[in-house]
Structure 1
């Protein structure tokens, strides 16, 4: 059923919202363009004009699902800022346990879908490096770390380790003790040693 009223950004938001709902309810394996089109009240052509493939749509839906539209907390210390970011991500995961299943489904599907694997590497696995680089940039300005620590792969190590807890262990929440261990035993030594 073609939508003749919604256009542009409004239609795109409806499609993305439908894709998020499908991804949440059925995982990546159950995400189909037909289901998304039906749920959004549009047709598959409207989706393909915006997303070239199911993989592209699935990743956009996943990014929407985990989106954090906030400035990272400034606690005055790198340790405090990193703990806040990881605790916030953990609260988000705990409040929406579907996230772990979604990322596990995306990773499993990537083994069979080279396009999805490439898009995961390019778009999702950077783990929001802009947010983390902001935190590290403030720490550089405060003199806590050297500018050499401002590298996207270094910046995101903490969240990658936290995500590994969800994916590899299948848990929906991580203890604060584990979060502090990630920060104190891995993250801070890494960024301070650069």
Structure 2
């Protein structure tokens, strides 16, 4: 009886093969950016052929869009729910600080040629990647905060809803490294919470 392992590589198919290609393509984006993102490079890295890739994605751009959606959707997805708005926001920002601190600057710099060629922006890429999920986490956090009386629904304009994440993303792109925790606390305590909290009713007196 022959118990020797089969030396032939196992052939990947279907979803397993597609996931392997997208994982390799994501590594290619992070290491070389848009200029180095070619069908040949991805095929070599994934250990497959150009024809296999072209059967799934007709061109470089469609493969890139699928790759960005794959890469940006990695990581934890559950919405923080501690029963306290401040704690939920800090968990959200701290999680993003760990998961996105290397990705966002790389995409900002390495994808510059793609943005120039396509006329798209990082915001477009984010919307393409997340679709209906974009903004849903914040909507859920704020909806619970409103039901607990921690947030004023009249104050929750589009700009106010996104201000904490916008400030975090801006600082992350400017520094290209994780933010110190005190900066995350400052975004929540000094900017976000004062904007969303219900204001005390006026007693009619002029201050």
TM-score bin (small chain): 0.7 to 0.9
Partner of 1:186: 191
Give the drift of 1:164: 1.3
- On the 8 A contact 2:126/2:134 being kept in 1, the answer is no
Distance 2:108 2:184 in 1: 20
Partner of 2:117: 112
Gaps of 5+ in 1: none
Residue of structure 2 aligned with 1:11, choices 6, 12, 17: 17
51-60 vs 9-18, which deviates more?
A: 51-60
Partner of 1:88: 95
For residue 174 of structure 1, give the secondary structure of its aligned residue in structure 2.
Answer: coil
Give the drift of 1:51: 3.9
Distance 2:80 2:126 in 1: 27
Residue of structure 2 aligned with 1:156, choices 152, 162, 182: 162
Report the CA distance shift for 1:87/1:117 in structure 2 as closer, same or farther (over 3 A): closer
Residue of structure 2 aligned with 1:36, choices 23, 34, 42: 42
Partner of 1:74: 81
Instruction: Give the TM-score normalised by the residue count of structure 2.
Output: 0.72
Give the drift of 1:132: 1.9
- On the 8 A contact 2:34/2:113 being kept in 1, the answer is no
- On the 8 A contact 1:133/1:150 being kept in 2, the answer is no
Partner of 1:123: 128
- On the 8 A contact 1:56/1:119 being kept in 2, the answer is no
33-42 vs 111-120, which deviates more?
A: 111-120
Residue of structure 2 aligned with 1:134, choices 140, 144, 162: 140
2:195 pairs with 1:165: no
Gaps of 5+ in 2: 1-9, 199-207
- On the 8 A contact 2:167/2:187 being kept in 1, the answer is yes
Aligned length: 188
Which has more helix, going by share of residues? Answer: 1
Instruction: Give the TM-score normalised by the residue count of structure 1.
Output: 0.76
CA-to-partner distance for each residue in 1:58-102, whole Å, 9 max, x for gaps? 3443443342333122222111101111011112245xx354222
- Alpha-carbon RMSD across the aligned residues, in angstroms, is 3.3
Q: Which has the larger radius of gyration?
A: 2
- On the 8 A contact 1:55/1:116 being kept in 2, the answer is no
